[in-house]
Amino acid sequence: MALSAFYAVWGLLLEVAIAFGPVPRITWEHKEVQLIHFNESKVSNYSTLLLSEDKNILYVGAREVIFALNAVNIAEKQHELHWKVTEDKRTKCAVKGKSEQTECRNYVRVLQQLNDTFLYVCGTNAFQPTCDYLNLISFELGGKNEDGKGRCPFDPAQSYTSVMVDEELYSGTSYNFLGSEPIISRHSHQSPLRTEYAIPWLNEPNFVFADVIRADPNSTDGEDDKIYFFFTEVSVEYEFVGKLMIPRIARVCKRDQGGLRTLQKKWTSFLKARLICTIPDKNLIFNVINDVFILKSPTLKEPVIYGVFTPQLNNVGLSAVCAYNLSTVEEVFSKGKYMQSATVEQSHTKWVRYNGEIPNPRPGACINNEARASNYMSSLNLPDKTLQFVKDHPLMDDSVTPMGDRPRLVKRDVKYTQIVVDRVRALNGTIYDVMFIGTDQGALHKAISYENGMHIIEETQLFPNFEPVQTLLLSSKTGRRYLFAGSNSGVVQSPVAFCDKYTTCVDCVLARDPYCAWKPLEASCIDIFKEGEMERNWIQNIGGDASSCSAFLTWMAKEGNYLKTGNKLHCNRIRKTLSTACT
Ligand SMILES: *[C@@H]1O[C@H](CO)[C@@H](O)[C@H](O)[C@H]1NC(C)=O
Ligand SMILES: *[C@@H]1O[C@H](CO)[C@@H](O)[C@H](O)[C@H]1NC(C)=O
């Protein structure tokens, strides 16, 4: 892409004063809604959260402490474990020029469920990342003090992400003290693997998320489970003055064993592609990815990847949510073209589409039945040609385009930092993906997008001091849905809806909240997922048509004529439904 195109885009960005995106229909101030808080004095940086849905426990990794909280009420602390840096380590860290009071501490960065009895935990430990096993029965560390290099950053300010898959830890972080060597690795006693340390593989990445997507159990092609990583990195493929950021999706295969000679102990299945999140007709490019949530629901044909993005130069404060279906992603990796670097002039390299012959088996592909049929039983058997190719061509030329070719949500004057998505069935059976999006000002937006537009149902001020939402989790157990948000100063638990805040039928219906409906006989706005059974006379309309509220009058007249009975109690209840006065 030419330089001038990007200039044009940014010129536009600075100038546009278009009223972008919907305004939250209602804003709840911090004190207006019932939220549950957890924080302890002298403890800060509650940045790592892990939810155990079976045990109903929320684990929280803060600075030098790990907590276990009751996930139904996080104010109830069940355990706490102090995990401090030794004096000696702190002094040594300070000698290397780091701040003894802040940087030379232990920031918990990895908190993963290993099995029923153990969590695998890692902390920065005064720039000497260390991992250990946390026994959930005694709530004590095993004292293994494993070297956490490659699993946890040295520097608490650096990005990190990890996911535990079948008792093996996959992480994206940096590998050295300076933070200059990025790495995506698998920690496993059998076959540890890592990325090449080379610019085409990872170029100053900022990791935001990782997750596994299991192979379809009904498929017959013997495909492998895949681990996806999301990050923003400095572009190699576009020419630009300064650093142009690019949002990426990368993936590796779970059964990858590395190569035998070429790519020994390195991924043979590492491929990455650009994620596109743009508004083409307005020339807006969202090229920094801040967080990802992968929606995996039994009612979905395939997982959907939701990402929150901001532009690199964000003077006007724009954010967007883009959604990608998995088949589009897989298509790019399994059928797309690769990119190739070419040297032009002396030292200048340029990345162009590779149009030459592609070795067989396809470079970067997982070992599946087809490969096994050709006697490639593991990545260790792959021919050198395939391995050398993927080593030199980890970047795809094709990009991953969002569903519907545009963002699900675009919002002005806000920076979105975190996202989780809940899939809910409204009263009329329509399914909505409800997006909960955290901001850098401690707020949460709850939004839906539908065919004709987008709607922000509400904005809730989660943190009173307007600090960024750093982590966001959703507990979607039936009948018990909560959000958990972590920040520097504490953790907040919020219900997914505040239906009872709406006191009239019209208010309740106009909220257009799939969780809420008006229950006419009780004259209250209820959370439909908290009720035992759905009833036919409940009123909900996500399109925002509140005429059913008055239609209820007619129905009521037929049913028993409460209005004419002069029964004050009934009249007052019904009045709320009808928004009329009692006579
Ligand atoms: C830890 O929290 C403090 C505020 O309590 C903040 O200033 C600091 O940047 C945080 N450090 C990290 C590494 O997040
Ligand atoms: C996935 O998204 C693409 C692009 O929007 C679309 O063409 C395709 O039909 C979608 N596939 C499914 C299964 O939804």
Atom 4 (ligand 2) nearest CA = 403
Q: Is 578 helix (H, G, I), strand (E, B) or coil?
A: helix
Give the distance from CA 17 to its chain's centroid. 29
Reported pTM: 0.92
* Per-residue three-class SS string for 213-263: ECCCCCCCCCCCCEEEEEEEEECCCCCCCCCCEEEEEEEEECCCCCECCCC
Among 407, 439, 472, which residue terminates a domain?
407
Residues 246 and 339 in one domain: yes
For residue 565, the domain's CATH number is: 3.30.1680.10
DSSP per-residue letters across 331-397: HHHHHPPBEEEEEETTTEEEEEE--S---SSPTTPPP-HHHHHTT--SGGGS-HHHHHHHHH--BBS
Among 392, 407, 422, which residue terminates a domain?
407
With beta carbons less than 8 A apart as the criterion, state whether 212 and 227 touch: yes
- E strand or H helix at 549, and its extent? helix 547-559
467 within domain boundaries:
yes
Residues 456 and 568 in one domain: no
Residues 444 and 462 in one domain: yes
Is residue 12 lining ligand 1, measured as CB closer than 6 Å? no
Domain that holds residue 375: 3-22+156-407
Residues 399 and 491 in one domain: no
Say what the pLDDT of residue 190 is: 78
Give 536's contacts (C-beta < 8 A, 6+ positions apart).
none
**What atom of ligand 2 comes closest to residue 301's alpha carbon?**
13
Residues 304 and 445 in one domain: no
Give the number of domains in the chain: 3
Residues 243 and 337 in one domain: yes
**What atom of ligand 2 comes closest to residue 324's alpha carbon?**
2
452 within domain boundaries:
yes
Residues 311 and 392 in one domain: yes
Atom 14 (ligand 2) nearest CA = 325
144 within domain boundaries:
no
CA of 488 relative to ligand 1 center, distance in Å: 6
Say what the pLDDT of residue 84 is: 96
Residues 388 and 433 in one domain: no
463 within domain boundaries:
yes
Say what the pLDDT of residue 572 is: 59
Residues 393 and 524 in one domain: no
Say what the pLDDT of residue 9 is: 46
529 within domain boundaries:
yes
The residue whose CB lies within 8 Å of the most ligand 1 atoms, and thus the one to mutate among 39, 488, 489, 491, is: 488
120 within domain boundaries:
no
Residues 418 and 437 in one domain: yes
Residues 487 and 510 in one domain: no
Give the span between the Cα atoms of 82 and 65, in whole angstroms.
Answer: 4
Say what the pLDDT of residue 569 is: 54
Give the pLDDT of the chain (583 residues) as one tens digit per residue. Answer: 443 444 444 444 434 434 567 899 999 999 999 999 999 999 999 999 999 999 999 999 999 999 999 999 999 999 999 999 999 999 999 999 999 999 999 999 999 999 999 999 999 999 999 999 999 999 999 999 999 999 999 999 999 999 999 999 999 999 999 999 999 999 987 789 999 999 999 999 999 999 999 998 888 899 999 999 999 999 998 877 789 999 999 999 999 999 999 999 999 999 999 999 998 888 889 999 999 999 998 888 899 999 999 999 877 789 999 999 999 999 999 999 999 998 777 777 789 999 999 999 999 999 999 999 999 999 999 999 999 999 999 999 999 999 999 999 999 999 999 999 999 999 999 999 999 999 999 999 999 988 778 899 999 999 999 999 999 999 987 667 999 999 999 999 999 999 999 999 999 999 999 999 999 888 899 999 988 787 888 999 999 899 989 877 666 666 555 544 445 555 556 556 655 555 5
Residues 394 and 431 in one domain: no
Give the span between the Cα atoms of 514 and 510, in whole angstroms.
Answer: 11
Among 496, 528, 549, which residue terminates a domain?
496
**What atom of ligand 1 comes closest to residue 47's alpha carbon?**
14
